[in-house]
């Protein structure tokens, strides 16, 4: 006998309009991409009821007491978005997994307080116009990359996070730069398919959540995948990454009429 589905805590219906984006990688290293994303956000969020940012909003994040000028612009823009009445939900990515976490000393510049955002657990189930939908950043589904999964488990550990955030800001920045350099070196030696999601992990996650629709980012491989879960049709929607120099960057818009790229 199939177990009853737990109700989704976030439900969209009627005239709601939801935007989904991920992997913008905002930072001072790439002001052109920030301009492209913030311009699109300003246009598309004017009549949006919900905005879901599913990880790697920022290129790096060493704590809510840090932000470069580009990130500051983004925070102001997000605050303006929520001030217009759009509900903002943000999920941690593999680059900004410290976003919104409490510092040892309370800080007036906390991300959620400044933007009005609600942080989402990864994964999260929402009710998207009557369809149970699983949202994820996507990195937890890349289970063939054992080294990354070990690193992910370490950095998502609350004790590790508290210890890291207790360090002075400049020390945190230096550690983050070193970790990023090591990550890039490690990725260069890995096959591309290892860094993509595992079909088995996707099936397991969707089956556990009792969904037929999954929306995620992380892989930088935007696509619509038609799959089957226990013989039933299902879809996996992969969000675009953002890179102005390469002409990449889009959102998904979900309404009662369906989901389209925008």
Q: Give pLDDT tens digits along the chain (262 positions).
A: 344 677 778 999 999 999 999 999 999 999 999 999 999 999 999 999 999 999 999 999 999 999 899 999 999 999 999 999 999 999 999 999 999 999 988 666 799 999 999 999 999 999 999 999 999 999 999 999 999 999 999 999 999 999 999 999 999 999 999 988 887 776 655 667 778 999 999 999 999 999 999 999 999 999 999 999 999 999 999 999 999 999 999 999 999 999 999 9
- Cβ contact 52:92 at 8 Å: no
Tokens of 1: 């006998």
65 within 8 A of 99, measured Cβ to Cβ:
no
Residue 239: burial class (beta carbons within 10 Å; 0-12, 13-18, 19+): buried
Give the pLDDT confidence score for residue 189 in this predicted structure: 53
Is residue 67 a contact partner of residue 27, using CB atoms and an 8 Å limit?
A: no
Chain centroid, CA 95 distance in Å? 10
Partners of 132 in the beta sheet?
Answer: 127
Q: How far apart are the C-alpha atoms of 244 and 125, rounded to whole Å? A: 31
Predicted local distance difference test score (pLDDT) of residue 257: 98
3-state class of 44 per DSSP? helix
**Token code pair at residue 61:** 């994040």
Radius of gyration, alpha carbons of the chain: 18
Q: What is the pLDDT of residue 179?
A: 85
pLDDT score of 190: 62
Please give the domain boundaries of the chain with CATH numbers for all domains. 15-257 (3.60.21.10)
Q: Which of 113, 129, 133, 143 is nearest to 236 (CA)?
A: 133
- Of the candidates 180, 135, 118, the one whose C-alpha atom is nearest the C-alpha of residue 155 is 180
Rounded to an integer, what distance in angstroms lies between the CA atom of residue 97 and that of residue 21? Answer: 16
Contacts of residue 71, Cβ cutoff 8 Å, sequence gap at least 6: 26, 27, 28, 58
The 10 Å CB-count burial string (b at 16+, else e) for 151-180 is bbeeeeeeeebeebbeeeeeebeeebeeee
Distance (Å, rounded) from C-alpha 6 to C-alpha 210? 9
Specify the pLDDT at position 3. 46
Secondary element (H or E) of residue 236: strand 232-238
| Maximum alpha-carbon separation in the chain | 55
- Provide the b/e sequence for 120-132 (b: ≥16 CB within 10 Å): bebbbbbebbeeb
**Angle between helical axes of 169-188 and 146-155 (0-180°, round to 10):** 170
């Amino acid at each position: 006998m199939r177990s009853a589905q737990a109700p989704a805590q976030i439900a969209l219906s009627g005239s709601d309009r939801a935007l989904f984006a991920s992997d913008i990688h905002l930072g001072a290293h790439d002001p052109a991409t920030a301009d492209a994303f913030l311009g699109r956000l300003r246009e598309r969020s004017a009549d949006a009821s919900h905005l879901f940012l599913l990880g790697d909003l920022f290129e790096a994040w060493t704590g809510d007491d840090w932000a470069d000028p580009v990130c500051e612009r983004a925070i102001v823009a997000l605050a303006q978005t929520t001030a217009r009445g759009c509900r903002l939900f943000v999920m941690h990515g593999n680059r900004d997994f410290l976003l919104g976490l409490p510092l040892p000393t309370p800080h007036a510049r906390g991300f959620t307080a400044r933007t009005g955002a609600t942080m989402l657990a990864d994964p999260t189930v929402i009710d998207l116009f009557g369809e149970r939908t699983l949202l994820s950043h996507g990195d937890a589904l890349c289970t063939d990359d054992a080294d990354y999964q070990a690193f992910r488990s370490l950095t998502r550990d609350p004790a590790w996070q508290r210890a890291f955030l207790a360090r002075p800001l400049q020390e945190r920045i230096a550690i983050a730069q070193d970790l990023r350099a090591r990550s890039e070196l490690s990725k260069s030696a890995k096959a591309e398919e290892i860094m993509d999601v595992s079909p088995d992990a996707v099936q397991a996650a969707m089956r556990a959540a009792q969904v037929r629709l999954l929306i995620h980012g992380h892989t930088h491989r935007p696509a619509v995948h038609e799959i089957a879960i226990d013989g039933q049709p299902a879809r996996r929607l992969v969000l675009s990454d953002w890179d102005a120099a390469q002409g990449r960057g889009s959102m998904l818009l979900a309404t009662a009429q369906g989901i389209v790229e925008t």
